Amino acid sequence: MVDALDGRPLAGVSLVLEGAQLGAHSDGEGRFRLAGLPPGPGRLLVSHIGYQPKEVPVVAGQQGELRIALEVAVVELPGVVVSATRRAQLFAEAPVSMAVAQAPELQTRNAFTLSGPLTYVAGVNQVGSQIDIRGSSGYSQGTGSRVLLLLDGFPMLSADLGDIKWDAVPTEEVERVEVIKGAASALYGTGALGGVINAITRQPSLRPQTRFRLLSGVYSQPAYRSWRWAEERMYLAGGDLSHSRTLGLTGLVLAGGHQRTRGYQENDEFRRYHLYAKAVRPVGERGRWTGLARWASDDHGVFLQWKNRQHPLQVPAGDRGASTLSRKLYLCSEYYQMRGPALGYKLKGYFYRTAFENSRQAGGLESVGRKAGTEVQVDYTGVEDLALSLGGAAAFDRVKAPGDFIGQRQAHNLALYAQGTRLLPPWAELVAGLRYDHHRRDQGEEGQLVRCALPHGEARPTQRQLSPQVGLAVFPAPHTALRASAGRGFRAPSISEVFTQAEASGVLICPNPALRAERSWSYELGLRQGVGGFLLVDAALFWNSFDGLVEARPDPALGQGVLAANFRNISRARVRGAELETQLALPGGLRWRAAYTLLDAVEFLALEEVLPIYDGGAELVPGREAPLPYRARHLLNTGLGLQRGRVRGGAEFRYLSRFERVSGLFPEGRRDLVPVYLVDLYAAGRLGELDLTLRIDNLLNYHYLLTERELRSPRRLSLGLSGAF
């Protein structure tokens, strides 16, 4: 049984056996049952939001009731994480920089997807739909993400665009999100060049439980009367419903929902529907099977660019009615089995289908992508203070699109990996890993009708990469943790980056069959220090060097008289910086948080570099260095919160310095881009069995852009209502 020091039982407490996949959650009375423990002693990692994580020694066959008391945390520190080393461990012992966002924090954001709330994590930014961790990514219309999205450890990048479909994530069922900062290719392979986001969903409840959430809101009209394009109210609304229970030995979660919005600008409306199911069933004494299914549909307008500077919330007449209908189906299955006191294995399989159709005004494009993958991992802990993991993975992509867009293409990725964790009692932990990836893209069944002048260069259909990584965590004092890591990053370009031929915003996007993989080295030094239980400081220095970074660049020679661009490898780039995050508990229930990231992101222009007609705001000289586009030198998130009983509230401030360089596709360059100053207010409370959250985003109605010719959201007032019974 798990309770607080005052004897009050705690529900939803996570209990995980260190280094294994066995675990449990406490019920409404604080009770749990953990069966199938391997012989010998072990450590049970216990964590709960708002309480200090705890390690409890356990022995298989232990009889009677195990009583665990948790202490309230003044400064919140995440508990158990699984993404940093592919095994359960305490957050404080992770050898790499990472952050954790818990469900209550995500719910306070009143958001339909995870992408917006994640921008409040230190070092994380979003441009368009593209997530950037510590300057690893810029902006390429979401194509080819350098951040790997996982759902319960299963990869979720689409087969065609290689992008993140945020509406495919069951946001309302997410228990926590773990964010790894820096290259993680030694563990996760291609796609994890800049980091990993692992969305971990709730486990089924022991007793029947129904949860619901309603969300509604309105956008303010712009401050300038001439900008107003519609007089009717611009709104958003949505609802989600889920039911969880255990039938016999099988735990089930079933959920569904619908969201819609009028949007704040022309062509900004959407209608979304989604369904979700999860099943967990024990197999024998030491086995477990987990299955997950997700279906989502999104019918949304497409805002390509504004009509003009005097009417920034309207689209040109020819773009009215531009829309996209996209659907996603995601299926995955995992079987975990302990074969003895020190040996366990995991078998995984998944299938991800994405499809979209654009209206004629949006270019008339369409594509169907299918990704199928499998993975096997063996864990061995038979050597004292040493944990080993060996595994292999395979993923197969197939894309079907018209011949004048992408054509029919195929790609596959095969990988082998190994990782070892060595405990150096009582003061350190050493982690070392190695992964080999073999990636190949094939022409497919149908060639492409090329309208562009292809760039010079030999096609690179096969890419190979050996990715090592080493990390060290040192604990010289009870509240002090030092970390250092170095690792190799790797990302094979997506099928769309290589083969796309399409026209958007008056720019012809051309294919580049010579595109090769991106590679990087990532280094970090970090310190986490607690002071007196009321102050927590986390500081890090990082340095990333890139070779062949893929960026979208204009090239007049490609379009034969038409403004054209393609994805190409830039020779070398460097992203270095520092990050500081603090939490401070103040008298009277006040808590202050601040996170600041300083970034120096540059590329080294080759002597033969084809410079764009418009420099995007930076002075470009072949052979010299230039800022990487769409990276902010300064990023600050800070907030002050107050909690009194069942009521809490606060104010948050976010600052993003002006981008020093943008795409160079448009003559205005970065003229319309400004520094970003955002103030948000929120208040949340519990009324009986209901949770209410009132939020005002962009309180000052500040007008700003992050990409050329698209104004970002004005003030938004929203109210969320949720509960469980």
Residues 123 and 15 in one domain: no
Percent of the chain topping pLDDT 90: 60
Residues 106 and 241 in one domain: yes
Beta bridge partners of 337: 287, 345
- Model-level pTM? 0.91
Residues with Cβ within 8 Å of residue 314, at least 6 apart in sequence: 229, 265, 266, 306, 307
582-630 per-position pLDDT tens digit = 999 988 889 999 999 999 999 998 877 666 666 666 677 878 889 999 9
Could you give the count of Cα atoms lying within 13 Å of 664 in the half-sphere of its Cβ?
24
What integer is the mean pLDDT of 545-550?
93
**Total domain count for the chain?**
2
Is residue 613 in a domain? yes
Contact 257, 240 (CB under 8 A): yes
Number of H helices, E strands in the chain: 4, 44
pLDDT of residue 330: 98
Is residue 450 in a domain? yes
Contact 431, 407 (CB under 8 A): no
Q: Residue 219 to residues 42, 65, 720, 721: CA-CA distances in angstroms?
A: 53, 54, 15, 18
Q: Which of 19, 41, 70 is the last residue of a domain?
A: 70
In degrees, rounded to 5, the angle at the alpha carbon of residue 439 between the alpha carbons of residues 435 and 444 is 160
- Going by the DSSP 8-state scheme, the letter that residue 105 receives in this structure is H
Residues 195 and 310 in one domain: yes
CATH, residue 521: 2.40.170.20
679 band by pLDDT with thresholds 50, 70 and 90: very high
Q: Which of 16, 47, 70 is the last residue of a domain?
A: 70
- One-letter amino acid at 2 equals V
Residues 312 and 230 in one domain: yes
Residues 15 and 87 in one domain: no
Nearest residue to 542 via CA among 81, 80, 98, 76: 98
User: How much is the mean pLDDT over the chain?
Assistant: 88
Q: DSSP letters along 35-76, please?
A: --PPSSEEEEEEE-TTB--EEEEEETT--S---EEEPBPSS-
pLDDT of residue 384: 83
291 band by pLDDT with thresholds 50, 70 and 90: very high
Is residue 344 in a domain? yes
CA pair distance 659, 617, nearest whole angstrom? 9
Structure tokens at 504: 């958007």
Is residue 695 in a domain? yes
Q: Which residue has the tokens 């030094």?
A: 525
pLDDT of residue 375: 97
CB atoms within 10 A of CB 109: 24
Is residue 408 in a domain? yes
Contact 242, 276 (CB under 8 A): yes
Provide the residue range defining the domain that includes 63. Answer: 2-70
Residues 34 and 103 in one domain: no
If phi over 0 gives left and psi between -120 and 50 gives alpha, with beta otherwise, what is residue 61? left
CATH, residue 6: 2.60.40.1120
Is residue 75 in a domain? no
159-177 per-position pLDDT tens digit = 999 999 999 999 999 999 9
pLDDT of residue 355: 97
Residues 415 and 436 in one domain: yes
Residues 61 and 90 in one domain: no
Q: Which of 70, 96, 126 is the last residue of a domain?
A: 70
Residues 532 and 570 in one domain: yes
Reported residue count of the chain is 725
Evaluate if residue 650 carries a pLDDT over 80: yes
CA 314 to chain centroid: 31
Residues 23 and 41 in one domain: yes
Is residue 481 in a domain? yes
Residues 312 and 426 in one domain: yes
Residues with Cβ within 8 Å of residue 170, at least 6 apart in sequence: 151, 201, 255, 274, 276, 294
What integer is the mean pLDDT of 34-40?
58
Nearest residue to 180 via CA among 145, 134, 116: 134
Residues 252 and 316 in one domain: yes
Evaluate if residue 522 carries a pLDDT over 60: yes
Is residue 635 in a domain? yes
